[in-house]
Amino acid sequence: MRNTVWAAISLLACTALAQAAPLKVALITSKSHPAFEAYARQTEAGFMLGLEYLTQGTMMVEGRKIVVINKDDQGKPDMAKALLTEAYVDDGADIVVGTTTSGAALAMLPVAAEMKKVLVVEAAVASDITGKFYNRYIFKTSRNSFHDACAGAAATMAPASLAFLAQDNVFGKDGIAAARDCLSKMGSKAKVVHEEYAPPASTDFTAPGQRLIDALKKAPEPRFLVVAWAGSSPVNKLANLQPGRYNITLVPGGNLLPVMKGWSAYAGSEGSLYYYYDFPTNAMNRWLVAEHKKRFAGTPPDFFVAGGAAAASAVVQALRATKGSSDTEKLITAMEGMNFETPKGTMTFRKEDHQAMQPMYHFRIKAKDKQKNEWDLLELVREIPANQLPIPVNNKP
């Protein structure tokens, strides 16, 4: 009898120790990538701020201390694969979050499947992550190309002629294909008359810009030249070609705050974007804005800070739902269909493909004389609810 009692006590003690073991979360970003360093650093800042908010500063979930392991894949697919394997095998990561670029994220997907471990994708955008190359271990908090495209379509329902300039990479091509699909599905009367793709490192946009203008100037008015570009925007260089001579309006896509500061010259132009600090009105966003301003010299949180915080929320909410267990099957069961609070409001992991469904925003650019401060750049036309964005499920044969 005594041996039985001691065995039971020993088992309880071991169980308590196991539950108290640190929860290891690896965060993989592309901090050394020259074009996306800012995105990566914002994601990291947002992830840590999100964990702080959600745990009330304790960094504890269900009795387990969260330990974050940061890794830099430099935006290289091979390195991303290697670092993900390292995180799961050598570091013993319970969950991994990453990465910044779509090419690197796509390379990581088979590793998660092979290891049978959860990978939360943030901030890569390509729709193929939860589409053609989906596997059940992938949960994507970042928007995908169809969020951008369908939000853009929602902001452009009236008759218009559109031409697109995008990067010649996965992000650019995926985005424009999605734009065509959304315009059609949502019944927009706008028509795409031309597309141009330029290398991501381009500095001279004279030739593609002129081709865009030549195509648009023959098309029915109103005429819009839409720029879908990650990183430093070519909008001002396109403006030097004077498209206004042909009643062509430049439409900058959503971008980082420092980039958007130069947009007052396009006051009145409208577009759509993932996040702007002044648009959401929920408690998490209010805290994030206030804390980011305190810690980062008065600057509000940017695009990818919100994304990092959303990923943190998904991790914390999943662990709360599993009572602190990081068992893969328990996590998947908890996360499929899971609602979680973010700076944008409630997101939901769709059961079919694990894409986080989320609102987007239709904005109008403010004139300089209407801005209250250097970061008062946009006004909200409307929030576009998640249920008004027909994001397709593309992971079926």
Closest listed residue to residue 228, CA positions, set 153, 130, 279, 123: 153
Q: What is the pLDDT of residue 286?
A: 98
Cis ω before 20 (30° cut-off from 0)? no
Inform me whether the pLDDT recorded for 14 exceeds 60. no
- Give the rounded percent of residues in the chain with a pLDDT score beyond 90: 78
Instruction: Show the domains of the chain with their CATH numbers.
Output: 2-143+282-357 (3.40.50.2300), 146-273+360-388 (3.40.50.2300)
Ramachandran region, residue 324 (left: φ > 0; alpha: ψ -120 to 50; beta: rest): left
Q: Which amino acid type is present at position 313?
A: S
271-319: pLDDT as tens digits = 899 999 999 999 999 999 999 999 999 999 999 999 999 999 999 999 9
Question: pTM of this prediction?
Answer: 0.88
270 SS3 class: strand
CB 57 within 8 A of CB 122: no
Q: What is the pLDDT of residue 263?
A: 86
pLDDT band at 18 (very low <50, low <70, confident <90, very high): very low
310-362: pLDDT as tens digits = 999 999 999 999 999 999 999 999 999 999 999 999 999 999 999 999 999 99
How far apart CA 18 and CA 27 sit, in angstroms, is 23
Mean pLDDT of the chain: 92
319 SS3 class: helix
CB 273 within 8 A of CB 363: yes
Average pLDDT of the residues in 230-248? 89
How far apart CA 325 and CA 18 sit, in angstroms, is 10
pLDDT band at 264 (very low <50, low <70, confident <90, very high): confident
CB 268 within 8 A of CB 364: yes
CB 252 within 8 A of CB 349: no
Beta strands in the chain (DSSP E): 23-29, 60-61, 64-72, 95-98, 119-121, 138-140, 160-167, 190-198, 223-228, 248-252, 270-273, 339-342, 345-349, 356-357, 360-365, 378-384
From the CB of residue 321, how many other CB atoms can be counted at a distance below 10 Å? 17
Q: What is the pLDDT of residue 9?
A: 47
Strands in 23-29's sheet, in edge-to-edge order, are: 60-61, 64-72, 23-29, 95-98, 119-121, 138-140
CB 196 within 8 A of CB 208: yes
pLDDT band at 13 (very low <50, low <70, confident <90, very high): very low
Inform me whether the pLDDT recorded for 117 exceeds 90. yes
